[in-house]
Structure 1
Amino acid sequence: MVSFVHAIVGALVAAGALATPTKAYPAALGKRVYTNIRGENNGFFFSFWTIGEYGNVTYTNGTAGSYSTTWSDVDGFTTGKGWREAKPRNITFSASVKAIAREWYISVYTSTPKGETYIMEHHSEYNPCSAPLATAKGTLHSDGSDYEVCEVDRGADFLQNWSIRKDKRFNGTVTTANHYNYFAAQGMVHNPIEDADYQIFATESFLHGSGSANVTVSEAI
């Protein structure tokens, strides 16, 4: 029955009939070409996005703010759980990642029509701030570590804000306001939360890596 549900979801997405579902999807979701599934589960918002024709990705909602994801030889994906409304909240997370991949990371992630913002808490070899398109924006100290900050122009007026933690960690609390305020102070044009589609704690990988992750996210009061 679960596999049958996966096949139906994939077919609807391919046909463009399920861009933004309003119902929760508690079972695992299988990867399809250009899949983009969003919904609500246990009071949290979740997003499951993949691109490419190769490999496999699954996303499974758990209790409250928990989720798990597995991937194998995949072109690229971003999955995560959080909130529909993006705001400068304090986000507590705990993650366990086992990966054979040159490029993977976990981060607080927001997406808007004008760009993306990553507050990266742990990553493998890939550092976007070392890329040729990156413009350095200095160093921010927050939550017990320095963060390397940069801006990447992807063209067509689409900007990425990156804040990359130097003392990598798999659990802790992210004071997002510190990052958002720093971006503004540095004159970074893209606003991370204005017109944001959502705010999640995301797992992302690309370039045919494989691995698994178990993540729990909540808002620190």
Structure 2
Amino acid sequence: MVHFSILALATSLLVPGVLTAPAAEPAVAIQRRFDGTAFNNWSEGGSNIRCVNGPGGSFTANWNSKGGFVCGKGWNGQGARSITFTGTYNATGPGYLSIYGWTTNPLIEYYIVENHADLAPNEPWTLKGNVTSDGGTYDIYTATRINQPSIVGTATFQQFWSVRREKRTGGTVTTPTHFAAWKALGMNLGTYNSVIVAVEGYTAKGGSGSSGSASITVQ
């Protein structure tokens, strides 16, 4: 389970390039765009993390760190849609390649994990069921984050997870299928805040960090 979250939605336009977050002051940069090219780059103070905003729906990530980060591209104010992406992903340690987003009222952080390295080491996830979608089977989990950073500040909130058994780095993800499966299990989302194709790495409770590289294009 992730030990960090996107803290806020900035309204400034980010030009293509590299955003580096200082250790003492996590940074957020999001383009307020609705066409799949909104770039999100957040770090909680790790070193050797480099996320680069490319043209259109493309971005790259390279990291070797014990700090946490999330970077990716997608849509603001949306969530229920089909998302197609391609690329490469190679990682070790805790981390994911996922469809990632938030809702408000209720405040939910959600993941549809397409590929991953170490999956939630030592984390208290609760298995709720599974769903078949887009040629694969996903196990559904919930988790609770207590007094942790969120898009509305420090808060207690639920995380919803769909984790694909057949790992892949590319394809189409039909998010409404997951949302309907979650709802049938009593896992209710709120108002969509954002959804992105995200690469994420973090430090596990045991202290191990992550490393890897990714090059992703959102169609």
Please classify the TM superposition score into its range, dividing by the shorter chain length: 0.7 to 0.9
TM-score (norm 2): 0.81
Correspondent of 2:117 among 103, 124, 146? 124
Counterpart residue type for residue 101 of structure 2: T
Cα deviation for residue 35 of structure 1 reads 1.6
Alpha-carbon contact 1:60-1:67 (below 8 Å) kept: yes
SS at match of 1:183: helix
Q: Distance in 1 between matches of 2:38 and 2:49?
A: 19
CA deviations over 1:121-176 (Å, ceiling 9, x no partner): 00112147x83x32221110111111000111123540000000000001110011
Structure number with larger C-alpha Rg: 1
Q: State, as a whole percentage, how many aligned pairs show the same letter.
A: 34
TM-score (norm 1): 0.80
Cα deviation for residue 198 of structure 1 reads 1.2
Matches within 5 A, 1:61-76: 61-76=53-68
The aligned residue for residue 13 of structure 2 is 23
Cα deviation for residue 95 of structure 1 reads 2.4
The aligned residue for residue 192 of structure 2 is 196
CA deviations over 1:90-132 (Å, ceiling 9, x no partner): 1001121233x2112100000235120000000112147x83x
Alpha-carbon contact 1:94-1:170 (below 8 Å) kept: yes
Q: Distance in 2 between matches of 1:42 and 1:198?
A: 9
Cα deviation for residue 25 of structure 1 reads 2.1
Cα deviation for residue 40 of structure 1 reads 4.9
Cα deviation for residue 41 of structure 1 reads 7.3
Gapped regions of structure 1 (runs ≥ 5): 1-17
SS at match of 2:182: helix
The aligned residue for residue 3 of structure 2 is none
Gapped regions of structure 2 (runs ≥ 5): 1-7, 148-155, 204-208
Q: Distance in 2 between matches of 1:25 and 1:163?
A: 32
The aligned residue for residue 215 of structure 2 is 214
CA deviations over 1:26-76 (Å, ceiling 9, x no partner): 111123231222125795211111113x41222211121111111122410
Correspondent of 2:201 among 191, 202, 205? 205
Q: Does 1:46 align with 2:46?
A: no
Q: Distance in 1 between matches of 2:218 and 2:49?
A: 20
Q: Does 1:37 align with 2:29?
A: yes
Say which is worse superposed, 144-153 or 25-34, in terms of deviation: 25-34
Distance 1:19 1:107, change over 3 A: closer
Larger RCO (CA under 8 A, 6+ residues apart): 2
Counterpart residue type for residue 75 of structure 2: W
The aligned residue for residue 145 of structure 1 is 136
Q: Does 1:175 align with 2:174?
A: yes
Q: Distance in 2 between matches of 1:23 and 1:56?
A: 24
* More helix, by proportion: 1
Alignment size in residue pairs: 194
SS at match of 2:202: strand
Q: Distance in 2 between matches of 1:40 and 1:214?
A: 22
The aligned residue for residue 58 of structure 1 is 50
Off by >3 Å, runs of 4+ in structure 1: 40-43
